[in-house]
DNA sequence: CCATGCGTATTAGTGTAGCAATACACCAGG
DNA sequence: CCTGGTGTATTGCTACACTAATACGCATGG
């Protein structure tokens, strides 16, 4: 499959290109549309397809590598890694998510969305993961 | 009450000061610790207390005003506004929240947090609002 | 009126984020 | 070896984010 086709950028969005790339790859991985072992499109391929500078793509890839989402397979490209075993205590992981959730709460309040509406919106996005339980999807 | 005491900044956090201020005020309003009709601490007061430049505080206040969270009461200060009547259709409001929720999902996945864990974390943050059950479709 | 409190327009300085052009190091496969 | 594929270190440039110092307009209330 050509994962390059799953990625797009909007140069006018205000969000830096390299960050758009990162966010999309992260999201693709979280939603399992990119699976461990697969390769990201090559820097040059993606750069040409999106009409951006290769170094911009490279920057995005490097940061994904730094964050442990992909590894560099020399001469081959960037390979998706399986989710890390997570050595961090649960509480600390929760803390890490909290600022983002606060932002969600403030924004939801401003948009006058009810708790239920937010939950209903978030649930499908979280649906696929829960990899601890071997139970499974539909 | 002195709402200035509820606000703090970390100059070393990497997050711009004016943005820290905005986020905190938004959060304080969403959690009802700052209520409509109350005043934000004056620009100079807050600036001195936090040891930052008054213009930095003013910038934060102006943006909050632009976003309709506070209004300027000339000669008195910045007054907290009640949540706007929301003229935007429900679906559009949902769309506005979606990118943020995607980010939550990707991060949660990376942290290996289960759907339930995320929900449990988010629920208390959303708890207070649901201010009126306008059984009103978009 | 004047004193004192509001917020801010203006201007300017500093840093750096973001992107790009180049050349380079490395590896797989023939 | 060579060829064509990988990612990237280096350098430089530009735009803008961020903060700050100053002076100003305006409202309140004695």
Confidence of residue A86 (pLDDT cuts 50, 70, 90): confident
B29 touches chain A (CB under 8 A): yes
Could you tell me the distance in Å between the CA of residue A59 and the C1' of nucleotide D17? 21
Higher pLDDT residue, A85 or B57? B57
Give the closest of B100, B105, B109 to A103, CB-based.
Answer: B100
Q: Are A51 and A9 in contact (CB under 8 A)?
A: no
pLDDT digits (tens, 9 = 90+) for A28-69: 999 899 999 999 999 999 999 999 999 999 999 999 999 999
pLDDT value of position A20: 96
* Residue bearing tokens 């609002």: B129
3-state SS, residue B77: strand
A92 contacts in chain B (CB < 8 Å): none
User: CB B104 to CB A107 under 8 A?
Assistant: no
Task: Report residue A78: phi and psi, to 5°.
Answer: -100, 115
Task: Give percent of chain A above pLDDT 70.
Answer: 89
Q: Are B62 and B11 in contact (CB under 8 A)?
A: no
- Domains contained in chain B, CATH given: 3-80 (1.10.10.10), 90-125 (no CATH)
3-state SS, residue B73: strand
- Please give the residue of chain A at the shortest CA–CA distance from B85: A112
pLDDT digits (tens, 9 = 90+) for B43-74: 999 999 999 999 999 999 999 999 999 999 99
Q: How many CB atoms lie within 10 A of CB A94?
A: 16
Interface of B with A in 48-87 (CB under 8 A): 67, 69, 83-84, 86
| Rounded Cα distance, B93 and A19, in Å | 24
pLDDT value of position B131: 55
pLDDT value of position B44: 95
């Amino acid at each position: 499959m050509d994962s390059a086709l799953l990625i797009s950028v909007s140069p006018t969005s205000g969000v830096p290109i390299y960050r758009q790339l990162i966010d999309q790859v992260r999201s693709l991985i979280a939603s399992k549309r990119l699976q461990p072992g697969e390769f990201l499109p090559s820097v040059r391929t993606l750069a040409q397809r999106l009409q951006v500078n290769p170094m911009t793509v490279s920057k995005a890839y490097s940061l994904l590598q730094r964050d442990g989402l992909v590894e560099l397979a020399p001469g081959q490209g960037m390979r998706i890694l399986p989710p890390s075993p997570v050595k961090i205590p649960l509480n600390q992981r929760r803390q890490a998510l909290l600022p983002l959730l606060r932002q969600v709460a403030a924004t939801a309040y401003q948009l006058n969305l009810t708790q239920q509406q937010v939950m209903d919106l978030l649930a499908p996005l979280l649906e696929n993961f829960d990899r601890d339980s071997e139970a499974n999807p539909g």
